[in-house]
Amino acid sequence: MRALAEYIMRGRMQAIFVVAGAAALPMLFWLSAAAGSLVLLRRGLNDALGVLSWGVLPALAWWYFGDPRTLLVLLGSLALALLLRSQGSWPRVMLCSVGLGMLYAWGLGMVFGESITALASELQKALPSVLSDAYQQLSPEEQARLESLLAPVLTGLLAALLQIVTLLSLMLGRYWQALLYNPGGFAEEFRALRLSPLLAMLLLAGMLLGPSIGVQMAMLAPICSVPLVFAGAALVHGLVAQKRMSRFWLVGLYVTLVLFMQLVYPLLAVMAIVDSLFDFRGRASPDGGAGPANGEG
């Protein structure tokens, strides 16, 4: 990882090669976004613009051929990187990622709207057998409403997945920046990530009340959950570091997240909400630290 980061920062041509090359290759758009975020975080928008524009060109080509993911993740990561560089606030980055998720949902709906509708129709046919008696106990109006929520929720899930990839790409770029110029800086930043009570409650309201606002707003549920899950993961990282526990606990966290996502994912969101109210790390937080991950402040 360090060797790749050093290569990217070695010069303009090397950065262009990685940003544009990764954007042009299938399934490597996350690497392009991470490399572009590193250049933007370190050099600033004016110096990085010439490099980043070369990455946008293959991303536009992918959109033309029916795949908007490369352009969405690349531009989303760069927008969040610009915000992080100017304000240095991960909670604000998490909040703005919700807006990006909504934009992603709009873009995915434009490109994959028919496919999502077709998938929702297949799931609609399977609902009676999947839910069995619970489905039969619903009134016809409740059944119709449940079925109408399928397409927006599917769109929201796809958008949330891109939202997660965007945040991970930005974090990889920030990690590279800290690795080169301020070792340990990103770890301190991530462990300190905590949402304010107001922000946590707003995200919770978006998850729970989105479907009540309107059918299309049901996509808010998965999109609003993403910042909470990242904050929950940061809480675990912070507690493990404070208690000087083995990294085995972090490995176990992510292994169980992959194997039992339907259980661990909402648990992390709940942990983030509770932590926003009680601040489990604040009372035992050590003073000092490595400082900002950019190594410049």
The pair of three-digit structure tokens given for residue 143, joined into one six-digit string = 């059944």
**SS3 state at 125:** helix
| Contacts for 216 with CB less than 8 Å, ≥ 6 apart | 152
Number of structural domains found in the chain: 1
Band (pLDDT 50/70/90 cuts) for residue 293 is low
288 within some domain: no
Task: Using a pLDDT cut of 70, give the percent of the chain over it.
Answer: 95
pLDDT of residue 137: 80
293 within some domain: no
Q: What is the pLDDT of residues 106-128, one digit of tens each?
A: 999 989 989 998 998 888 888 87
Report long-range pairs for 215-221 (Cβ below 8 Å, ≥24 apart).
215/145, 215/148, 215/149, 215/152, 216/152, 217/152, 218/149, 218/152, 218/153, 218/156, 219/102, 219/105, 219/152, 219/153, 219/155, 219/156, 219/159, 220/102, 220/156, 221/153, 221/156
Nearest 5°: the CA angle 158, 33, 164 is 30
CA distance linking residue 68 with residue 215, whole number of Å: 24
Per the prediction, the chain carries an average pLDDT of: 91
Of 97, 64, 67, the closest CA to residue 79 belongs to 97
pLDDT of residue 296: 52
283 within some domain: no
Mean pLDDT of 20-40: 96
Q: What is the pLDDT of residues 136-194, one digit of tens each?
A: 788 888 778 888 889 999 999 999 999 999 999 999 999 999 999 999 999 999 999 99
- φ, ψ of residue 184 to 5 degrees: the values are 90, -10
295 within some domain: no
pLDDT of residue 288: 47
Band (pLDDT 50/70/90 cuts) for residue 297 is very low
Q: What is the pLDDT of residues 38-85, one digit of tens each?
A: 999 999 999 899 999 999 999 999 999 999 999 999 999 999 999 999
Secondary structure (DSSP) of 17-35: HHHHHHHHSTT-HHHHHHH
What domain range includes position 166?
2-278
- φ, ψ of residue 133 to 5 degrees: the values are -65, -35
